[in-house]
Amino acid sequence: MNDVEIALHQVRYEQKTYWRNPMAAVFTFMFPVVFLLVVGTSAGSSTISGSTLRYDQYLVVAMLVFGLIAACYTNLGVTLCIRRDQGVLKRMRGTPIATASYFGGLIGSILINVVLLTALVVAIGMVGYHLHFPYHPLAAAVTLLVGVVTFCALGLAVTVLISNGEAAPAVINGIYFPVVFISGVFYPISNSSVLSKIADYFPVRHMVKGLVGAFENGPGSGLQVRDLLIMALWAIGGLVFAVRRFRWEPRHR
């Protein structure tokens, strides 16, 4: 088998492992769905100022961002830290698998999850909240793809900061949640607010803006190039950091 076939072989087993471990799927799939069903129905249908989306429709898009980040950054970061701690990564390093095939398998499996998540959340939005199918489907696809790359890169990078697998979920979510709060994932934030100015330094807000742009119509909608470029900077920074400092072996052994 060549490296690509081996990556596809890995995808199968990564998928099995993923769906048998309920914790990961809860954050990625359950949380956005439950949030939409509980909060979305009481969110009201007034239009947000400066947008063609209603409040509840905005939340659908924002929850897709939330789930995507859980599927990429949180899942990859926690999975790798735990496997590193258990010595699974070290063992893998002793087999002939190419590094690219191993990560290809992990990220391929994440891509499947993101496609399923997108279909699920958009379907709930369209059925429950009259969300229009993205007016700019290509922009939506590009934004989602840039999101997967960025948040997978950051998931790889965060493993460098963690020395103990048991602490991984706490550290990873401890970084993620404050940023998600100020980035307008749970409620819309005005672009002129202080929170928004702070959040603009981080990639989450740009992911929200990028995806909202793909679901809106009218002036200013479509591909949000500036937001995607800022995300790409985070992706490159995360990747460079991860490639330089990634550890395959547990510490203190």
- Rule CB under 8 A: is residue 252 a binding residue for another protein? no
Member of 25, 39, 52, 87 binding another protein (CB under 8 A): 87
Contact 140, 207 (CB under 8 A): no
Tell which one of 49, 95, 219, 252 touches another protein (CB under 8 A): 95
Considering the complex, what minimum distance in angstroms separates the CB of residue 195 from another protein?
A: 39
How far apart CA 59 and CA 155 sit, in angstroms, is: 24
3-state per-residue secondary structure call for 76-95: HHHHHHHHHHHCHHHHHHCC
Stretch touching another protein by CB under 8 A, among 96-104, 131-139, 221-229, 233-241: 96-104
Out of 41, 45, 86, 191, point to the residue binding another protein (CB under 8 A).
Answer: 86
Residue 9 binds another protein (CB under 8 A): yes
Angle at 238 between CA 215 and CA 107, to 5 degrees: 65
Check binding of 251 to another protein (CB under 8 A).
no
Which residue's entry shows tokens 């989306």?
53
- Whether 223 and 139 have beta carbons less than 8 Å apart is answered as yes
- What sign has the CA pseudo-torsion 58, 63, 68, 69? positive
20 binds another protein (CB under 8 A): yes
Binding site for another protein (CB under 8 A): 1, 6, 9-10, 13, 16-17, 20-21, 83, 86-88, 90-91, 93-98, 249-250, 253
